Amino acid sequence: MPETGTTVSNPVIPGFHPDPSVCRVGEDYYVACSSFEYFPGVPLFHSRDLVHWTQIGNALDRPSQLRLPLDAPSSGGIYAPTLRHHDGRFWLIVTNVSGDGNMLFTATDPAGPWSDPIRLPGVPGIDPDLAWDDDGTCWCTVAGVGQVRLDPHTGETLGAPTRLWSGTPGAKAPEAPHLYRIGDYWYLLIAEGGTERCHGVSIARSRTPNGPFEPCPDNPILTHRGTEHPIQNTGHADLVQAPDGSWWMVLLGVRPGGGSPGWHVIGRETFLVAVDWVDGWPVVGELSSLLPAPPWPLQPQPAVPNRDDFDLSELAPHWVSLRHRPAEDCTTKERAGWLTLRARGASLDDTDVTFVGRRQQHLSCRARTLVDVGEGRGGLAVRLDEQHHYDIEAVSGEVHVRARIGPLSTVVASRPVPPGPVVLRVEVTAVATMHDPRTGPDTVSIGIEEPDGTFVELTSLDGRYLSTEVAGGFTGRVLGMFAASGSVHFDWFDYRSLDH
């Protein structure tokens, strides 16, 4: 992350890391994000300075915690966690829209292990939040915006849900509520306007946690709607106070590229912005790609895991799969120093395809892997969902590049390769200059690598078709390896930023 003595780069957690929820314990900050159809679920990050974040695990890393049916749609699954620390424990409340509804998990260490779920059948809707009153009453607030008292130890709701506040009149989708006791007031922070270009953050306050709530006269307190700001879709925020008394906000946003209407391809990312308080209301500072550095020493930039040689018995926490990850289909123990994937689905079009990937975190990047397909079939993919992906597949002395764009699927290039392992390569290049208003956000070049490192490009494809504006949904690109037939072995995977 580039930085100077006075500024740091936003987003602070780049790539597909939406719906951030933050809490502080002493000098340590923790963030949880949505994961949708990917397993393991709810990535967790740690920081000592709010700027440099390291993934320490995934809260939902066991099948007993996260059940996603194989037919669960992309952009289904796990929505909008809230992470809190109370009474010596970490509490995580989240919605599985593809099965178990609202669930609550606890841990003494945010790196895990987390408990099995406490199911919350009496909590309606999505985007649940937790807050505790001085007398120990736990309030659960949900999108809409409704509220119910909750016994967090049993999951039992105490009384019927009540309506609190529905945000700005005429603004759709009041969601992502977070309730805080700050000074003499309870504050209710929400997102509204939908998670697209009209997204924004609004707030109200009350003398009691269950209202009535008075809206801020300056709502929305943050939005980039109707502007040409390079960060758009700003919303789904959470507040945190630093040890020095200053206040900060984490939120999601996107970085659209190309011409009109603009396409964001790596998903909704986690941004940071400073907050001041004026007359009892929060005033959000300027949100930009270069953020004024917090007024405390920054911690050393943590090492980013660019290359994985699959020498460990377990995969690093940034690796994700689709809906589940059976040990028999994904292992580093069968062939020492290799990742072995056994095929289930026959292609990336299938919801049960065996896939292991990592989020694209840079607008320009390179991904490479050495694959030995043997008698099988598999390769390297750039995935948004089952109907939007580009992939290069090796099989029987050939490689094929395939593009899936909605209902259209075609092989766009093929090439013979010598028997044995082959290096597959994808390069994503953000467009710097627009030729006309229809210029896409980036190009995706796909090919193989010669033994001397020379890149043999087989095709270059327009990246707009792997964007949310084309495909819909709530996720971002994931780059990874897949098996489509038999057992396929990967010696290493290398990911590098090409951003300048």
Is 301 part of a structural domain of the chain? no
* Mean predicted confidence (pLDDT) in 23-51: 98
What pLDDT is recorded for position 1? Answer: 38
What pLDDT is recorded for position 354? Answer: 98
Same domain, yes or no: 84 and 177: yes
Q: Maximum CA pair distance of the chain? A: 73
How many residues comprise the chain? 500
Count of domains forming the chain: 2
Is 115 part of a structural domain of the chain? yes
Q: Is the pLDDT of residue 138 over 60?
A: yes
CB 263 within 8 A of CB 245: no
Contacts of 293 (CB under 8 A, 6+ apart): 3, 4, 5, 6, 7, 8, 51
The predicted-structure confidence for 292-337, as pLDDT tens digits, reads as follows 989 999 988 777 779 999 999 999 999 999 999 999 999 999 999 9
How do 78-86 and 38-39 pair as beta strands? unpaired
CB 340 within 8 A of CB 314: no
Same domain, yes or no: 312 and 226: no
What pLDDT is recorded for position 6? Answer: 85
Is 56 part of a structural domain of the chain? yes
Same domain, yes or no: 408 and 436: yes
What pLDDT is recorded for position 2? Answer: 43
CATH, residue 80: 2.115.10.20
Same domain, yes or no: 287 and 383: no
DSSP H helix total and E strand total for the chain: 1, 39
Is 158 part of a structural domain of the chain? yes
Same domain, yes or no: 243 and 168: yes
Same domain, yes or no: 11 and 51: yes
- Given 265, 292, 319, the domain boundary residue is 292
Angstrom distance (rounded) from CA 385 to CA 455: 27
Is 370 part of a structural domain of the chain? yes
Q: Is the pLDDT of residue 481 over 80?
A: yes
Question: Concatenated DSSP letters for 349-371?
Answer: TSTT-EEEEEE--SSSEEEEEEE
Q: Is the pLDDT of residue 492 over 50?
A: yes
Question: Concatenated DSSP letters for 436-490?
Answer: STT--SEEEEEEEE-TTS-EEEEEEEEGGGGSHHHH-SS---EEEEEEEESEEEE
Exactly one of 19, 37, 238, 427 is catalytic; name it: 19
The predicted-structure confidence for 208-249, as pLDDT tens digits, reads as follows 999 999 999 999 999 999 999 999 999 999 999 999 999 999
Angstrom distance (rounded) from CA 228 to CA 71: 39
Range(s) of the domain holding residue 284:
7-292
Same domain, yes or no: 179 and 311: no
What pLDDT is recorded for position 153? Answer: 97
Q: Is the pLDDT of residue 284 over 90?
A: yes
Angstrom distance (rounded) from CA 269 to CA 45: 13
Q: Is the peptide bond before 282 cis (omega within 30 degrees of 0)?
A: no
CATH, residue 312: 2.60.120.200
CB 467 within 8 A of CB 264: yes
396-420 in b/e form (b: 16+ CB < 10 A) is eeebbbbbbbeeeeeeebeeebeee
What pLDDT is recorded for position 4? Answer: 52
Cα 68 to chain centroid, rounded:
17
User: Is there a catalytic annotation at residue 116?
Assistant: no
Same domain, yes or no: 234 and 102: yes
Same domain, yes or no: 274 and 316: no
Q: Is the pLDDT of residue 154 over 50?
A: yes
- Given 229, 260, 292, the domain boundary residue is 292
φ and ψ at residue 64, rounded to 5 degrees: -70, -20
What pLDDT is recorded for position 3? Answer: 55
User: Is there a catalytic annotation at residue 398?
Assistant: no
The helix/strand/coil state of 191 is strand
Beta bridge partners of 391: 381, 402
Exactly one of 49, 100, 129, 175 is catalytic; name it: 175
Neighbour count for residue 288 (Cβ, 10 Å)? 15
Is 453 part of a structural domain of the chain? yes
Angstrom distance (rounded) from CA 228 to CA 243: 35
Distances (CA, A) of 467 to 77, 117, 201, 383, 470: 19, 33, 24, 10, 5
CB 68 within 8 A of CB 323: yes
